[in-house]
Amino acid sequence: MNHASRIVNFSSGPAVLPETVLNDIQNELLNYQETGMSILEMHHRSENVSQILCEISSDLKSLLKLSDDFEILFIPGGASFQFVLIPMNLLTGHQRASYINTGRWSERAINEARRFGFVDIIYDAKAADHRFYHVPTPDQLFFPADSRYIYLTSNNTVMGTQYHVYPIAPKGIPLVADMSSDILSKEIPSDQFGIVFAGAQKNLGAAGLSIVIIRKEILSACNDTTPSVFNYKTIASYGSRYNTPPVFQLYLTHKIVKWTCQVGGIKEMSRRNLEKSALIYGILDEDSLFWNNRVDPGSRSTMNIVWDMPSEELRMLFLQLAEREGMVGLA
């Protein structure tokens, strides 16, 4: 298609995919690598799909500098399913988990976790400033010794906040991070984490798949009462194919991960995000009263920049002008 007819999509949902990836998918849609089959018809235990899974794992391990202590799981459904699977695997009725509440996604995770055990909200950004305008710094956090795990949301799409320094959990208590909206956007200190998970639709492909990066030592501690299809240990022992994974999303993630490596890896992704976000924050800061970005500068997200206009009229005008320039999803 004509490049000019592709719009600029600012939607808070799925991200824009690289056009080269879309072209690839289009070209091989009826015949994946001369197999005579569409990837949509491919069996999840076929050699082609095995290779896709294997290559995503090894590329992610190299991009994120993960040691062999980690296993990568591929699970149907988005991050919201992991809001349930984390406590379902790690928490039982009499145990406690610590959650840091920084906005809509952590709130949802907290609500699901409460069905499985006791939740300690060890930091509530809303209580601190009434509006979730920041994420806590490490010195603002205290970790109860009896926590099964500590949970945070790395980047908060709705609030426009992001951790730039991650807390260090006490030895033996895994730090669990929902990185759905900033995975692959910057380097992470992987040795600080027990579990890092992400729905694929923001930075790893399309809705319908989650990637769960988990320490092998946590796998063996998963609750035996967890249903097989949701049990991290079972999923790992079957190479993410105890049941059928969403093959098309795996195929897309494979392409996105390869593309990320090709354009220069995390270093380049991080550079692009810093550059783009600095440009926009620069404009917002020039007239901060007008643009009304209220996020604490130390917690500003390089992924999602949130601002508002001084009046409803100006808001509508701005959105109209943007749409005329081919920019949608800004609201």
- Angstrom CA distances, 111 to 41, 101, 144, 145, stand at 38, 11, 20, 22
Angle formed at CA 138 by CA 135 and CA 139, multiple of 5 degrees: 110
Does position 45 bind a second copy by CB under 8 A?
Answer: yes
User: What is the Cα–Cα distance from 67 to 269, expressed in whole angstroms?
Assistant: 21
Stretch that binds a second copy, among 203-211, 268-276, 284-292, 314-322 (CB under 8 A): 203-211
Taking Cα atoms as reference points, which of 19, 60, 46 lies closest to residue 258? Answer: 60
* Interacting residue with a second copy among 220, 326, 330, 331 (CB under 8 A): 326
Given a contact cutoff of 8 angstroms between Cβ atoms, the answer to whether 203 and 63 are in contact is no
Piece of 38-46, 58-66, 124-132, 151-159 that binds a second copy (CB under 8 A): 38-46
Q: For residue 329, state whether it binds a second copy (rule: CB under 8 A).
A: yes
Is 229 near a second copy (CB under 8 A)? yes
Span 246-275, contacts to a second copy by CB under 8 A: 246-249, 252
From 20, 41, 65, 316, residue interacting with a second copy (rule: CB under 8 A): 41
Mask: binding to a second copy, 70-109, rule CB under 8 A, as x and -? ------xxx-xx-xx---x-------------------x-
**Window of 206-214, 268-276, 280-288, 289-297 that interacts with a second copy by CB under 8 A:** 206-214
- Residue count (the chain): 331
Would the CA dihedral through 25, 26, 30, 32 be positive or negative?
negative
Asked if 14 is part of the footprint of a second copy (rule: CB under 8 A), the reply reads yes
In the complex, minimum distance from the CB of residue 103 to a second copy, in angstroms, rounded to a whole number? 16
Contact pattern from residue 105 through residue 124 relative to a second copy, giving x for each residue in contact according to CB under 8 A and a dash for the rest: ---x--xx--x---------
CB of 11 or CB of 62, closer to a second copy: 11
6 binds a second copy (CB under 8 A): yes
CA–CA dist 226, 84 (Å, integer): 11
The CB-of-23 to a second copy minimum distance in angstroms stands at 7
Q: The tokens of 322 are what? A: 């943007």
- Please name the residues in contact with 82: beta carbons below 8 A apart, sequence gap of 6 or more: 75, 178, 197, 199, 210, 212
In whole angstroms, give the CA distance from residue 249 to residue 206: 6
- Please say which residue, 21 or 168, places its beta carbon nearer to a second copy: 21
Q: Which of 7, 165, 221, 274 binds a second copy (CB under 8 A)?
A: 7
Determine if 319 is a binding residue for a second copy (CB under 8 A): no
Residue with tokens 């990320």: 260
- Interacting residue ranges for a second copy, rule: CB under 8 A: 1, 5-7, 9, 11-17, 19, 22-23, 25-26, 29-31, 35-38, 40-46, 76-78, 80-81, 83-84, 88, 108, 111-112, 115, 199, 201, 205-209, 225, 227-230, 242-249, 252, 326, 329
